[in-house]
Amino acid sequence: MNKNTSSISLSVLIPVYNSDKTIGRLVEELIGILGPIFNLEIVLVNDNSVDSSEKICISLFEKHKKIVKFYSLSKNVGEHNAVMAGLNRTTGDYVVIMDDDFQNPIKEAVKLVNAALSNEYDVVYSYYEEKKHSFFRNFGSWFNNKVANFMLQKPKDLYLSSFKVLNKFLVNEIIKYQAPFPYIDGLILQITNKIGKVKVEHSERLEGHSGYTVKKLISLWLNMFTNFSVLPLRISIVLGLIFALVGFILGVSTAIEKFFNPDMPVGFTSMFVTISIFGGIQLIMLGMAGEYIGRIFLSINKKPQYTIKKTFEYHND
């Protein structure tokens, strides 16, 4: 390490979902490996798991009360909302966000913190030579990054990994966001350009399978589309103008052809296809506008990002 880290407080934030077979071992190894290096805090946020994850997290708190904090959410809200719940309760100078499945080797967290310390980055992302996710998860991540390049002006060589370290300044800025649909990486890119990246190992998932479903990935993409950019609305305007122009040209060409060939029958097929295309485009654009309006409505009505049902914190009275 380039600096004495014993005086640095480090929070490790882990969103927990159906990980009763891994979370206990993960926390014990975090304490064993990072505890001697940093002033360590571990923040566990249970995203309404349906297995015995909550019971195990409570036992970890009881065993390591001065290190482990545990918060149990009243319903499943997704990874980014669960991370927001944890960020609001971390106290470290730096916060490492990592998964609960051992795909992020613990020793690699030291690399991330070291890079942040050495270069005074606000955030350091991990990236991988080879990812051990499923084809579906890899494709989703690839698509998410491509969309982020376009929608968020993300640097093209930056991979938005869930395994990253943030400094206290950045955490304090992120948690100012109160709307119900957070996208952590979108917030980071809006706040800072002091961004680093470090190549780390990526391991096979030890137990279970990824919690990311098609529904959750679509929800994540919508958060990116509608929360951090008005570009979809601008695209809808351009598409509307293009299709209006195409329709006008088709109408004029049909009128001219009919003028020179009065016996020409009106084409039912072409009319049906044209109406279908225009109708589909209109519905898509109305749906996109409705998505923006719906999110505004929910934000005005203060839909919560998360609701904590149970809290386990050590208080030195």
The DSSP string of 190-207 is HH---EEEEEE--PPP-S
Pick the CATH number of 9-228+303-312 from 3.40.190.290, 3.10.290.10, 3.90.550.10, 3.30.360.10: 3.90.550.10
Taking the C-alpha atoms of residue 201 and residue 316, their distance in angstroms, rounded to an integer, is: 38
Within the chain, residue ranges assigned H as helices are 23-34, 53-63, 79-87, 107-119, 135-151, 168-174, 184-191, 214-227, 231-260, 268-300
Torsion angle defined by CA atoms of residues 290, 296, 300 and 303, in that order, rounded to the nearest 10 degrees: 80
Q: Please, which pLDDT band fits residue 233 given cuts at 50, 70 and 90?
A: low
User: Which stretch, 17-31, 124-138, 288-302, has highest mean pLDDT?
Assistant: 17-31
Number of C-beta neighbours around residue 200 at 10 A? 20
Q: Per-residue pLDDT for 315 more than 70?
A: yes
Beta bridge partners of 72: 46, 310
Q: Which residues, in sequence order, are CB contacts of 61 under 8 Å at separation 6+?
A: 44, 68, 69, 70, 312, 314
The pLDDT confidence band at residue 157, using thresholds 50, 70 and 90, is confident
Average pLDDT value for residue range 6-15: 92
Of the candidates 112, 133, 110, 108, the one whose C-alpha atom is nearest the C-alpha of residue 121 is 112
Q: What is the pLDDT of residue 276?
A: 65
Is the model's pLDDT at 308 over the cut of 70?
yes
H or E segment at 311? Answer: strand 308-312
pLDDT in tens, 59-80: 999 999 999 999 999 999 999 9
Contact call for residues 232 and 288 (beta carbons, < 8 A): yes
Integer Cα distance of 145 and 150 in angstroms: 9
Per residue in 92-130, pLDDT (tens digit) is 999 999 999 888 889 999 999 999 999 999 999 999 876
Global pTM?
A: 0.76
Structure tokens belonging to residue 291: 């998505």
Cβ burial, residue 293 (10 Å; 0-12/13-18/19+)? exposed
Q: How far is it, in rounded angstroms, from Cα 191 to Cα 27?
A: 31
Q: For 246-282, how does the pLDDT look when each residue is reduced to its tens digit (9 = 90+)?
A: 767 766 776 777 677 777 665 655 665 677 677 777 7
pLDDT, tens digit, 9 for 90 and up, residues 79-99: 999 999 999 999 999 999 999
> What confidence score (pLDDT) does residue 47 get?
97
- Which sequence spans correspond to the domains of the chain? 9-228+303-312, 231-300
Return the pLDDT at 171.
98
Whole-number Å distance between alpha carbons of 186 and 231: 14
What amino acid is encoded at 310 in this protein?
K
pLDDT at 31: 97
Kindly state the tokens that stand for 20: 């009763």
